Amino acid sequence: MTDPAAYPAETSIVVDHVSKDFTLRYHRTAKQMAVAMVKGRDISDTFHALDDVSFTVDQGESIGLMGLNGSGKSTLLKLINGVMKPDAGTVLARGRIAGLIATGAGFHPQLTGRENVYLNAAILGMTEAETRRKFDSIVEFADIGRFLETPVGNYSSGMFARLGFAVAIHVDSDIFLADEVLAVGDRPFKRKCMEKMQEIRDSGRTLVYVSHAAGSVRKMCDRVIVLEKGRVGFDGPVDEGIRYVKYDEDNTRPEDQEDDELGSDV
């Protein structure tokens, strides 16, 4: 077990030889599993989401976490956030953590947007008094209008993202995690999110930003970590990291081009 005292006070995140596996089951019913076993077929397989990942992040650093889909980025953020525990190794994080690591995470579909603001804020560690004080600002940022009084089960993915990000961005945190926060929502909302994350970065908080958009990563981050099939393939300067993962402008996917332009404009 890693000793927190072994790291300097300015160290914000420690990921020490971390591995995480998931079991994939091929057959859902008991009958299907029995038939597969009789015939000698595999009924499950192990997927190595993270394999011996190690790095440290200093307080105030802005990290761009990049890699192809399925490389382990979201799993790593969930381990840092404490939503999951590693199968091996140690993850340490100093201070309060906030952010948006899954659209609508912590929302109850039968509660209204107003009620879910208080519920989600409590999950993120905010007191009721703190939420009341920041409520108007949260609602203004989310900009979902009359849908605030509607059950969130009727929300679109974009509205989920608006409300979830609006709550998370108002948490007084030491570490902010953002997993593809710009993947949904219209251009004005994306711009507003980027401006808020720049405020977070400039305030001295630690930022871990998952994105496929090279322009946004260049604007927001001062270091890039690239995951490849669950392992660290690159850890270093932003431009070199973007070239390593081949997400530069000449290779950017069409659906990411707008985000790249946005990242260079903000």
Residues 6+ apart with CB under 8 A from 73: 65, 66, 67, 179, 210, 227
Backbone φ and ψ of 115, nearest 5°: -65, -35
Alpha-carbon Rg for the chain, nearest whole angstrom, is: 20
C-alpha dihedral (51, 209, 84, 236), degrees to nearest 10? 30
Share of the chain above pLDDT 70, in %: 78
Residue labelled with tokens 């525990």: 85
For residue 48, what pLDDT band results from cuts at 50, 70 and 90? confident
Mean pLDDT of the chain: 83
pLDDT at position 75, please?
A: 92
What is the share, in percent, of the chain residues with pLDDT greater than 90? 46
Q: In one letter, which amino acid is 162?
A: R
| pLDDT higher than 60, residue 49 | yes
CA angle at residue 101 from 96 to 103, to 5 degrees? 130
Average pLDDT over residues 115-132: 92
pLDDT at 41: 66
At the topology level, CATH places domain 4-36+43-95+174-265 in Rossmann fold (3.40.50)
* Residue range 212-264, pLDDT digits in tens: 888 889 989 999 999 999 999 999 999 999 999 886 554 444 444 445 444 43
Classify residue 159 by burial, with Cβ atoms within 10 Å: 0-12, 13-18, 19+. Answer: buried
Helix and strand counts by DSSP (H, E) for the chain? 9, 9
CB 218 within 8 A of CB 38: no
- According to DSSP, the residues that pair with 207 across neighbouring strands are 62, 176
pLDDT tens-digit series, residues 12-27? 999 999 999 987 665 5
What's the whole-model pTM score? 0.80
User: For residue 73, is pLDDT > 50?
Assistant: yes
Spans of all domains in the chain: 4-36+43-95+174-265
Question: Quick check: helix, strand or coil at residue 108?
Answer: coil
φ and ψ at residue 21, rounded to 5 degrees? -115, 150
Q: Which one is predicted more confidently, 256 or 201?
A: 201
Burial class for 127, CB neighbours closer than 10 Å (0-12, 13-18, 19+): exposed
| Mean pLDDT on 184-189 | 72
- In sign, the C-alpha dihedral spanning 93, 99, 105, 110 is positive
Instruction: Return d(Cα 206, Cα 177) in angstroms, integer.
Output: 8
Backbone angles phi, psi at 66, to 5 degrees: -125, 170
Most confident among 54-63, 100-109, 194-203 (mean pLDDT): 54-63
More confident position, 101 or 17: 17
DSSP assignment string, 115-141: HHHHHHHHHTT--HHHHHHHHHHHHHH
Helix (H, G, I), strand (E, B) or coil at 192: helix
